[in-house]
Amino acid sequence: MSDYYQQLASLVEERFSTRITATHVEFGELTVELPREHLRSVCTALRDEASFHFEQLIDLCGVDYLDYGNGVWSGPRFAVVYHLLSVKNNHRIRLRTFVGDEMPRVDSVLGIWNSADWYEREAFDLFGIVFEGHPDLRRILTDYGFIGHPFRKDFPLSGNVEMRYDPEQGRVIYQPVSIEPRMLVPRVIRDDNRYQEPAPEGES
């Protein structure tokens, strides 16, 4: 499986040489990184050319790299990740394009795959990434009138406001959250000897 994706990786590199920045094959999956200027042209080619033929956009999501590796991240803060599937050729590919912090913008792929519609709305809602050319970029998962982008790493898990019924005013009101943020399991990054090459014999 990995061999197949190595071949596909070299095919992608050959075809798009200057328009992509990196390809890597990991866990039998091919990831291609590309700058956002070339996103649409590469995507169109990936969909239409017979050797790729990715007719389905399976998934599209945002990623916020703010806290990555406890602050070792130096690249652009956000990324948009596309998972494509070719039903005809039976292979998959992952595209990633990085976008900066202030006003993250990326071209919409709605015209290439119609399924991008709701996925882009979701990424906009949760991460505040703006998809240029999307005709109807509304919030989708959060409440009407929600403030902020909840999946950003600087958005607290317990949120900023809570809702309750106020008997005095006779209506539902928003107020700052009263619950304390808590962390039950600390986040640790361990250099785990299991994953170092070569794997130690016998002991695990």
The structure tokens listed for 55 are 């007719």
Q: How many residues does the chain have?
A: 204
What dihedral angle (degrees, nearest 10) is formed by the CA atoms of 166, 170, 172, 175?
-40
Using an 8 Å Cβ cutoff, are 119 and 61 in contact?
yes
* Most distant CA atoms of the chain, gap in Å: 70
1, 28 contact by CB (below 8 A): yes
Interface map 116-155 toward another protein (x if CB under 8 A): -xxx--x----------------xxxxx------xx----
Name residues contacting another protein, limited to 16-55 (CB under 8 A).
Answer: 26-29, 31, 55
- Residue from 50, 103, 172, 189 binding another protein (CB under 8 A): 189
Q: Does 90 bind another protein (CB under 8 A)?
A: yes
Q: What are the residues binding another protein (CB under 8 A)?
A: 26-29, 31, 55-59, 61, 63-64, 67-70, 81, 83, 85, 87, 90, 92, 94, 113-115, 117-119, 122, 139-143, 150-151, 157, 183-190, 192, 194-195, 204
